[in-house]
A and B are shown apart, each in its own frame.
Chain A
Amino acid sequence: MKAFHGIEQVIAAIDPLGALIALIFTVCVVGLLSWMLLVPRQVAVQVARARRAVGGVKRILVPLEWGVASDRAVELACRLGKEQHADIYLAYIIEIPRTRALNNPLHEKESAVARDTLKYAEQIVRLSRLRAVTMVERSRETYEGILRLANDIQPDLIVLGMPPLYSTVRGLVGMITLETVMKRANCEVLVSKMPG
């Protein structure tokens, strides 16, 4: 009976505002200590090497030519470079026929296509809050242009977006470009092939 009376006395003595402050204090201290003690697991050497190898990619070159496939390649490059704030180099490659001089002015239609392609690609990069560098490269062969740019920019990675390669002439040209770039580029090459 005496004990019961004691508990009543204790409850009556509690200051509501003080109890609230005490509760906030306890939650803060317990929360902080719990966060401190939940240490993330250790990363093995092999895991760290693989993880940071991708993290080391600071310059990504994305050649643009194939419409949807190129846009998707830009987005893929942005995702790969986002964590380490990589710079995305967007290059529109124009194949100039051998009947024309390389330094001749471009046709209005060619310029418009290049401008639009680069504009949309740049928007994709800006959505990821990364820095985009745009350029137009003229060459006799697409792969020549890509390799020349790779030599100038020295990217860590080239992302190539490929359209479906079914037995079309364009698909064949794409295959040649792909094979040559993969063989001769002095950096990592990633190919994103669109499903058929």
Chain B
Amino acid sequence: MAEQVSDPKAAGLRRDVSTWGSYMWGFADVGADAFVGLGLVLASAKGGAPLAFAFAGLVYIMIGLAYTELASAFPVAGGGQYFTQRGLGDSLGFITGSALMLDYTIDIALFAAASAGYANFFLPYMGLSLDQFVVPLGPFHVNWLWLSETLGIILLLIWLNIRGIRESSRVNEWIGALVIILECGLIVAGFMFAWKSDLLIHQWKHEFPTVNQFMYGSSLAIISFVGLESISQAAQETRRPATIVPRTSLTLIFTVFLFAVGFSALATGAVPWQEIAAHVDNPLAVLARAIPFIGEAAGPITAVMGAMILFISANSGVMSVSRLTYGMSQFGQMGEWFQKVHPKFRTPVRTILVFSGIGVIQTIAAFLTNNAMSTLGNMYAFGASLGYTLVFAALIRLRFKEPNVPRPYMMPFNIQLPWRGRRVLFPVLGLVGMGGVLLILVEVVWTHEIGRIAGPAWVAACFIGYILYRRSRKRPIFQSIPRDWEADQMRVLEEAEEYDLLEQYRNALASEKRYEKRTPVRKETGT
């Protein structure tokens, strides 16, 4: 008899995220990476930066396609954690969840601090310098203004997210639209007035990186694709998710790819890479300043753009971690205490407060140390690559385990295989993607000294908590709690008003059950 751990319907989330809102949840995370990643990648991949971005983009596209298939087929809160739990079982689902939890909490701290940093670009206009706000605190030196701004941003985001996803989604939609227009304007003006093909060719020929430099640069470019997860995290609150999510997800994959390759090609054709590498904190401002006619105004505009996109990126972090842990709690992987939904706003208030609180702790820790950002970045890469590897494995497993689930989008390049009397489509691209992400995971563990200790330590600590919780509830630790996934899928589709897919699923299940009862069909008879 299947056990229902909880009644998700009773604590249901509101479906308020529109098409544009769904796209913006993803763009908020991924779009912000150009403001941080461009300088880092150019500093290591030099004249080969466009190739590094294109190479990283290929792996990113495969991850994106896998998420598109899974998020549209299973539109529930939890994202990668839910897919892994459904495909590979409770314990592996929890490991994926803890890896993604690590990423999202760091996301909050990192992007809120970066957003405040871009806002501080305007201090000199007021006759102030950021350095004058540094105060000694025991053995540490803390910039209290920057820290206060960062904490203020996180508190504002907590309030917005408790108020309701509609309000915070609306913030994303407006700011995101403005940022896209401004980014497009920068790329178009840059290519028209500042880009010189001679400089690009010169840097490509004479400043091409070594293999090690190129690999390091491309791995840095790869760590910036955590934002894709946000669309699937918001799927349970998206209107008609099975219809909208494939569209928003595919659009996100290719627009972000265009922006990443566009900015890197523009940078290598407009300014020497050393100039960008010297300003890794603000690479886009340097690039914008090099554009004739608009260069003078481009610095402040880019700073405003940076502050805005990084703000909504931190917002995505709050949203994603709260939905992820809410989903884990619903599926018996964390305490029921986290399932509490605000009576008025219908938002998961406790998960928002607790896990944004962890983001606050990480922020304070980052400001107390000199290299905290580097530590956070290391762990960020570890969490993403571990989580994505398991998600790819779940994608493959689910094709065999639940072939009847309607998939409004399916990864291309499939081989039809017979499997226990059914015809199953094996995702070749999913296998290639899993190999690619697994290589990155090995690279991260191999090369990142802090990440290979702190990352696994986080996952191990979370898993100990999982064991203790499951023991206290007398539930299996390495085995899964039996669940009626078919009924769950029908409930989700019905709630999402995806009637077409619901009927498709019902018919597929009915046909299969009918065929199972049938006597074997007589073999072809000749004349």
Contact = CB atoms under 8 A, between A and B. Distances in A.
A33 B500 contact: no
A26 to B, nearest CB: 6
Interface residues of B, number: 51
Nearest to A151: B519
Contacts of A33: 251, 255
B191 A52 contact: no
A71 B22 CA distance: 50
Contacts of A48: 499-500, 502-503
A118 B192 CA distance: 66
Interface string A129-141: 0000111110000
B524 A134 contact: yes
Given A21-B195, A36-B248, A136-B525, A43 B499 contact: yes
A101 interface: no
B251 A56 contact: no
B518 A154 contact: yes
B244 A15 contact: no
Contact of A56 (B23, B269, B511, B518): B511
A47 B502 CA distance: 12
A29 interface: yes
A116 to B, nearest CB: 10
Interface in A27-58: 28-29, 32-33, 35-37, 39-40, 42-45, 47-49, 51-53, 55-56, 58
A15 B266 CA distance: 13
Interface SS of B by simple majority = helix
A56 B191 contact: no
B344 interface: no
Given A14-B193, A15-B196, A39-B243, A32 B255 contact: yes
Nearest to A116: B527
Interface residue tally of chain A, by bracket? 35 or more
A42 B240 contact: yes
A17 interface: yes
Nearest to B252: A36
B522 interface: yes
Contact of A26 (B184, B251, B524): B184
B258 interface: yes
A115 to B, nearest CB: 5
Given A26-B184, A48-B503, A15 B192 contact: yes
B43 interface: no
B347 to A, nearest CB: 25
B526 A136 contact: yes
A22 B265 CA distance: 12
Nearest to B22: A36
Contacts of B510: 56
Interface SS of A by simple majority = helix
A136 B527 contact: yes
B462 interface: no
Contact of B23 (A36, A42, A111): A36
Contact of A40 (B196, B243, B518): B243
A156 interface: yes
B20 interface: yes
Interface in B249-284: 250-251, 254-255, 258, 262, 265, 269
A153 interface: yes
Interface in A156-194: 156
B525 A58 contact: no
A34 B247 CA distance: 10
B507 interface: yes
A15 B499 CA distance: 52
A106 interface: yes
B506 interface: yes
A19 B504 CA distance: 48
A73 to B, nearest CB: 20
A25 B187 contact: yes
Contacts of A154: 514-515, 518-519
A10 interface: yes
Interface in B177-217: 180, 184, 187-189, 191-197
Given A29-B184, A32-B254, A52-B507, A106 B527 contact: yes
Interface in B18-74: 19-20, 23
A22 B524 contact: no
Contact of B506 (A10, A32, A52): A52
A84 to B, nearest CB: 9
A33 B497 CA distance: 24
Contact of B192 (A14, A32, A37, A47): A14
Contacts of B526: 136
A53 B78 CA distance: 32
A127 interface: no
A53 B191 contact: no
B358 to A, nearest CB: 33
6 contacts: A25-B188, A29-B180, A47-B499, A56-B508, A136-B526, A152-B521
Given A35-B247, A43-B499, A56-B508, 9 more contacts: A18-B193, A22-B189, A25-B191, A25-B262, A28-B258, A32-B251, A55-B503, A134-B525, A135-B522
Which 10 interchain pairs have the tightest Cβ spacing? A56-B507, A52-B503, A48-B499, A36-B251, A22-B191, A18-B191, A18-B195, A48-B500, A22-B188, A43-B500
